[in-house]
Chains A and B, each alone.
Chain A
Amino acid sequence: MPPAVVLVTGVSRWLGGALAAELARDRAIERVIGVDTIPPSPEVLRRLGRTEFVRADIRNPMIGKVIGTASVDTVVHMNISSTPVGSGGRGPMKELNVIGTMQLLAACQRAESVRRFVLKSSSAVYGASSRDPAVFTEKMQARRVPSGGFARDSVDIEGYVRSFARRRPDVAVAALRFTNFIGPRIDSVLTSFLRMPLVPTALGYDARVQLLHEDDALAVLTRATTGDFAGTVNVGGQGTLLLSQLIRRLGRLQVPLPSPALGQLGRFTRRFGFVDYSPEQMRFLNFGRVVDTTVLRDEFGYTPRYTTEQALADYATTLVPVIPPGVVAGVTGRAQDLVARIGATAGTVGERLRPAPPSPGLRAVRDA
């Protein structure tokens, strides 16, 4: 049964806006309500179509009134910030993530109309450490529980959502653990990180990275909202790449720095609202994280259209490479030609200097 009234939080961000726009296109859905603390940009607003925008802070109880009066039956919670850069520091970020979720869940618990709750969670809940298994399935837990930052928030949020599911067993709860988003339009921690021409990384470490294309992210969110899946699912593209490989494929220059220096740089860049090098982000850059997507394909019923490699290639079309692969290919091609020519010349010179020895047949005659 398709939902009648959908509430989407965090609609002013790219993914939230895109989901609201997608749902608004679906005529089976009566109303789509978008909520955010900041109004969407004119561009997003144009795309939103018949979505009704409510400027509300999910951190205050007003959200309950919105849900109650509109008799919302499906709530998609996407107002979770992954970096302190955009949300004005770590304090406000944590408040938005944790307190915001608690308020929203409290409102949902009161509202009889709510039948479905979709959480945009993150594979960050698995943490990142040297003690991790290479691939996480939904049943596994972080070996080292993340101590702070976005990962900690994600663990807390999932915890609150689980207790909500226990208190309201009639509500179907879907928690989507997304890997890193990438694509030409989405703005994520990773995209801004890779947009820099020189990419500082931790010296001596190389993370395994699994990516998800923005179109697949949108498709999974839409399916989770309109479908009937309940439970937890990892969402990521097929295949992995190493961080160094990622940087090379984008034609970026990798600048490996010793971890303490990288921490210093992180404090410096954060002050200027630049790129996030928090301790948690650093751990991810050191070890990386890969999730198993069998549940996504078999139970959730969606196979991502882009593999990690293809998603990166699509993102690469929006970047101007510092080291264009064409130039590299040209240089090595020319060098190979040169080597072949030198080889051929050396061969002919060698033949002139040392005439070919007589064939074995002649030798037999000579020996006789």
Chain B
Amino acid sequence: MPEARVIPLRPDDEEPRVPPPSSASWEEQVSGGLEFLRRRVTGDYDTDEFGFDPDLTDHVLLPMLRPLFERWFRVETHGVDNVPTTGGGLVVANHSGTLPLDAMMATVALHDDHPARRRLRLLGADLVFDLPFIGSLSRKLGSTLACNEDAERLLTGGELVGVFPEGFKGIGKPFRERYTLQRFGRGGFVTAALRTGAPIIPCAIVGAEETYPMIGNVKTVARLLGLPYFPVTPTFPALGPLGLVPLPSKWLIAFGEPIETASYGPAAAEDPMLVFNLTDQVRETIQQSLYQLLLQRKSVWG
């Protein structure tokens, strides 16, 4: 009906008159910030036995990661409904990109895109917790050491645990080997899932490989600094600190169908053949899912 079309007299008339109720006014925001500061100064907040600080995570760390998630990498999350809304679960993902940005983005994805706003408790290498600042910040973000004791404790507590079985082999692999999964550790994550009966949720992350394409590895410097690798990317160390800015690749995170482990019973963790088979199954699922996502992605920067 072209006759009935409304022709605006003033262009700004088209703007919504009522501001969306979700965004707080600036006074409320400042007031909330002051309340946060009061809590921080007087220590009036809770932390758990792993050193997780939900107050700091929600008000500082996640808001800092969100622009990276939404604007820089434009992360698309698929299959969040495969992640259980309650109870324990083991999210197993591929690891890449020189710096563990993929772990951070998966944390934001599960918190912001999952209906139950689930927290991902990451498992990190001991090197992470040895480093000043990084170690204590990781704990405050909810990470803990990648060991069976901690994984099982978190899973029995009904937490969602994030693990990257490739470890440094995955994150520190050269760019030419992108999107090919490395060896999946010794299958420790499968035994943890079997002992606690938690489902394994395979997760494929596409995009992290291109953030810091590693074209070289200076092993001598790495050995001197006690690091597992010392990356050379097109921008680092040539451009100095500027080289730390990740390239704005397009990211896709897909959560696959959960692999149920409860029916095997906790004793199955002692059966190495079953553990190997499950490990391979998870690895294959993630590899297939990676290839599918790569076909879906229009271009690296898309």
Q: How many residues of A contact B (CB 8 A)?
A: 47
Q: Does B271 contact A (CB under 8 A)?
A: no
Is the CB–CB distance between B150 and A240 below 8 Å? no
Q: How many A-B residue pairs have CB under 8 A?
A: 114
A200 to B37, CA, bound (A): 22
Is the CB–CB distance between B9 and A366 below 8 Å? yes
Q: Does A88 contact B (CB under 8 A)?
A: no
Q: Find the residue from B6, B40, B48, B51 having the highest chain A CB count within 10 A.
A: B51
Return chain B residues, CB-CB under 8 Å to A329.
Answer: 38, 42
List residues 316-368 of chain A with CB under 8 A from any CB of chain B.
Answer: 323, 325, 328-329, 332, 335-336, 339-340, 342-343, 357, 360, 363-364, 366-367
A309 to B45, CA, bound (A): 11
A95 to B236, CA, bound (A): 55
Is the CB–CB distance between B49 and A134 below 8 Å? yes
Q: Does B145 contact A (CB under 8 A)?
A: yes
Return chain A residues, CB-CB under 8 Å to B147.
Answer: 133
Q: Which of B26-34, B77-85, B176-184, B276-284 contacts A (4 or more CB under 8 A)?
A: B26-34
Q: Does B296 contact A (CB under 8 A)?
A: no
Indicate whether A140 sits within 8 Å of B132 (C-beta atoms), given known contacts A335-B34, A343-B25.
Answer: no
Return chain B residues, CB-CB under 8 Å to A239.
Answer: 49
A287 to B135, CA, bound (A): 9
A209 to B25, CA, bound (A): 39
Is the CB–CB distance between B51 and A360 below 8 Å? no
Q: Does A70 contact B (CB under 8 A)?
A: no
Indicate whether A208 sits within 8 Å of B37 (C-beta atoms), given known contacts A249-B44, A325-B44, A367-B7.
Answer: no
**CB-based nearest A residue for B30:** A339
A142 to B219, CA, bound (A): 32
Return chain A residues, CB-CB under 8 Å to B136.
Answer: 204-206
Indicate whether A134 sits within 8 Å of B27 (C-beta atoms), given known contacts A332-B35, A335-B34.
Answer: no
Return chain B residues, CB-CB under 8 Å to A247.
Answer: 43
Query: What are 24 of the A-B contact pairs (CB < 8 Å)?
Result: A130-B129, A131-B126, A133-B149, A134-B49, A135-B149, A140-B149, A204-B133, A205-B135, A206-B51, A206-B136, A208-B47, A208-B49, A208-B50, A208-B139, A240-B49, A240-B51, A242-B51, A288-B51, A328-B42, A332-B35, A336-B31, A340-B31, A343-B26, A357-B17
* Besides A208-B139, A249-B42, A343-B27, 6 other A-B contacts (C-beta < 8 A): A130-B127, A130-B135, A130-B145, A205-B132, A288-B51, A336-B34
Interface positions of A (Cβ within 8 A of B): 130-135, 137, 140, 202-206, 208, 210, 239-242, 244-249, 251, 259, 287-288, 290, 323, 325, 328-329, 332, 335-336, 339-340, 342-343, 357, 360, 363-364, 366-367
**Among all A-B residue pairs, the 5 with the closest Cβ atoms:** A204-B132, A248-B43, A343-B27, A249-B43, A133-B149
